[in-house]
Amino acid sequence: MELTTVWFVLIAVLWTGYFVLEGFDFGVGVLLPFLAGDEAERRLVYRAIGPVWDGNEVWLLVAGGATFAAFPEWYATLFSGFYLPLFLILLALIARGVALEYRAKSDRTRAWDHAFFWGSLIPAFLWGVAFANIVRGVPLDADHEYTGTLLTLLNPYALLGGVATLTLFTFHGAVFLALRTVGELRAGATRLALQAGLASVLAGGAFLLLTQLDGGRTATWITAGIATAGLLAALVATRAGRDGLAFTATATAIVAVTATLFGNLWPDVMPALDPANSLTVVNAASTPYTLGVMTWVAAIFTPVVLLYQGWTYWVFRKRLTNDPLEKAISP
């Protein structure tokens, strides 16, 4: 397999990991004002992702760095053409991170709750808008420079993609909270999971269907079907109280959705409305030497990172409660 294809697949894997792990973080933030009724419950919601949220964001940093190193032309075109949406995502992530770190140190908890909510909702929506445009194609000139405007990116298909990711991540986050909590908070998370799951099936199903009808491949029809089946299975498992199975199903759906998008994208990395101006894994790639060095570095350090993050989730695997005794004995 060519190294350009290897790195395209690796970048797809990095984005998949980011959406699966950071996806439930976004969902938890979106659900905060609708789920937590008092300060004790709000603190419990924050504690659910407290030990892992910053590690989950590392997947985004690595995905961006890998894109810059492996496909510099793709990186340049993407970050110049999508500058404003990506800048808004960055501001939202900063506000969200500050809220998570400083809420417990401040008396103005409501302000930090708003920052956490909007800092989760905006990226959850805009990532769908961005990837929908990437897959659909954008106006590029012969020098691979973006020639559209912000309104070009806010087309109906892209907005549907934003709704699809927002509802999917909200569903994923609700299932995660049901898995990590007990009592009334778990019951509320289960109720919201059923509502968000239904919205995700409708919005995500419509988005995947339009994506496949607009040039889907045989393999991506399969992954789109797996994504739909995963969402439906998560709904059934949630209704049955099988939180672990429901979380596995929503994670599988996110993996399948991401595979569908990247599967339809390849061998392009930034398709243009005029195919002659498209960026591909060949004309956007770094030199073979650069890709070779990166491959060795990834082969050495990626297993270490995966083992460390897996250990973190194992340590903080218990359900959370406001019981003082349980706090004392939880990891």
Q: Convert the chain into a string of H (helix), E (strand) and C (coil).
A: CCHHHHHHHHHHHHHHHHHHHHHHHHHHHHHHHHHCCCHHHHHHHHHHHCCCHHHHHHHHHHHHHHHHHHCHHHHHHHHHHCHHHHHHHHHHHHHHHHHHHHHHHCCCHHHHHHHHHHHHHHHHHHHHHHHHHHHHCECECCCCCECCCHHHHCCHHHHHHHHHHHHHHHHHHHHHHHHHCCHHHHHHHHHHHHHHHHHHHHHHHHHHHHHHHCCCCHHHHHHHHHHHHHHHHHHHHHHCCCHHHHHHHHHHHHHHHHHHHHHHHCCEEECECCHHHCEECCCCCCCHHHHHHHHHHHHHHHHHHHHHHHHHHHHCCCCCCCCHHHHHHCC
For residue 329, is pLDDT > 90? no
Check residues 51 and 330 and name the one with the higher pLDDT.
51
The count of domains in the chain is 1
Give me the pLDDT at residue 104, please.
80
pLDDT per residue as tens digits for the range 117-165 = 999 999 999 999 999 999 998 999 888 888 888 888 999 999 999 999 9
Confidence of residue 322 (pLDDT cuts 50, 70, 90): low
Domain of residue 319: give its range: 3-329
